[in-house]
């Protein structure tokens, strides 16, 4: 009887979430909260998850400052519906400095258009390698697409944390990158917000 009650409560929670209006934005910090398995790249003094959290927090804070309702979530979260979802990541490479920035998204026109808008902002600034969209299975079939149900969903790989040249460029610009992400999201929502300074 106890387990049957738990199942009924879970079904009720899922139904309740499905009937709620979607939140405007969900920001996910990749690998946050995990202690084993896929915990993110590590290179010398840099941990991907720490950078993911930092950028995700700053992005969410800026969106809130603009009056946009946003939910910050870790790597693993309960199902949630959103208009826009963005997962923050940094890439790594076995052969250092062979990777760089990229973007992944589910196969929808809305997400594909959002990816094009994001690249128009970040690509002129990021002076290193750019990969084609969805160039890995982890980008194309990102696990959170099934728990964070968003009209537009991007997985952002913002640079290679295993490349010293890239980390030297990225580290002093993390705040500006977060502002650029927040700006891209706000524009997708039709908000008139100030464009951040050049990276």
pLDDT single digits (tens) 153-170: 999 999 999 999 999 999
Instruction: Examine residue 195 and state whether it is found in any structural domain, yes or no.
Output: no
pLDDT digits (tens, 9 = 90+) for 119-161: 999 999 999 999 999 999 999 999 999 999 999 999 999 999 9
Question: Checking DSSP bridges between strand 101-104 and strand 70-73, what pairing results, if any?
Answer: unpaired
Report how many domains make up the chain: 1
Instruction: Examine residue 100 and state whether it is found in any structural domain, yes or no.
Output: yes
- pLDDT at residue 26, as a whole number: 98
- pLDDT at residue 20, as a whole number: 65
Instruction: Examine residue 3 and state whether it is found in any structural domain, yes or no.
Output: no
Question: Coil, strand, or helix at residue 62?
Answer: helix
For 26, residues 6+ apart whose C-beta sits below 8 A from its C-beta are 70, 71, 73, 80, 82, 84, 85, 86, 148, 150
The pLDDT-based confidence of 41 (bands split at 50, 70, 90) is: confident
Q: Is the pLDDT of residue 58 over 80?
A: yes
Of 19-23, 40-44, 76-80, 174-178, where does the model show the most confidence?
174-178
The pLDDT-based confidence of 14 (bands split at 50, 70, 90) is: low
- pLDDT at residue 194, as a whole number: 95
100 token code pair: 């760089």
Domain of residue 85, CATH code: 3.40.630.40
To the nearest whole number, what is the mean pLDDT of the chain? 92
Instruction: Examine residue 117 and state whether it is found in any structural domain, yes or no.
Output: yes
The pLDDT-based confidence of 35 (bands split at 50, 70, 90) is: confident
Q: What are phi and psi of 88, to 5 degrees?
A: -95, 125
Burial degree of 134 (CB within 10 A; 0-12, 13-18, 19+): buried
Instruction: Examine residue 152 and state whether it is found in any structural domain, yes or no.
Output: yes
- pLDDT at residue 18, as a whole number: 57
Predicted TM-score of the model (pTM): 0.89
Instruction: Examine residue 196 and state whether it is found in any structural domain, yes or no.
Output: no
Instruction: Examine residue 7 and state whether it is found in any structural domain, yes or no.
Output: no
Question: Coil, strand, or helix at residue 107?
Answer: coil
Instruction: Examine residue 139 and state whether it is found in any structural domain, yes or no.
Output: yes
Q: Is the pLDDT of residue 188 over 70?
A: yes
Q: What percent of the chain has pLDDT over 70?
A: 95
Q: Show the domain range for 70.
A: 22-188
Burial degree of 68 (CB within 10 A; 0-12, 13-18, 19+): buried
């Amino acid at each position: 009887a106890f387990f049957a009650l738990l199942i009924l409560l879970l079904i009720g929670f899922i139904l309740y979430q499905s009937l709620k209006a979607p939140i405007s934005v969900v920001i996910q910090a990749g690998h946050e909260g995990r202690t084993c398995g896929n915990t993110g790249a590590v290179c010398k003094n840099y941990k991907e998850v720490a950078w993911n959290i930092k950028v995700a927090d700053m992005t969410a804070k800026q969106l809130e400052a603009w009056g946009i309702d946003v939910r910050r979530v870790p790597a693993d979260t309960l199902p949630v519906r959103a208009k826009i979802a963005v997962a923050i990541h940094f890439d790594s490479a076995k052969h250092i400095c062979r990777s760089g920035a990229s973007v992944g998204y589910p196969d929808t026109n809305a997400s594909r258009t959002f990816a094009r808008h994001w690249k128009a902002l970040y690509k002129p600034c990021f002076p290193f390698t750019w990969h084609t969209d969805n160039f890995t299975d982890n980008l194309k079939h990102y696990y959170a697409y099934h728990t964070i149900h968003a009209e537009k969903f991007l997985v952002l790989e913002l640079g290679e944390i295993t490349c010293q040249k890239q980390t030297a460029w990225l580290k002093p610009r993390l705040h500006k990158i977060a502002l650029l992400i927040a700006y891209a999201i706000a524009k997708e929502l039709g908000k008139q917000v100030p464009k951040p300074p050049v990276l």
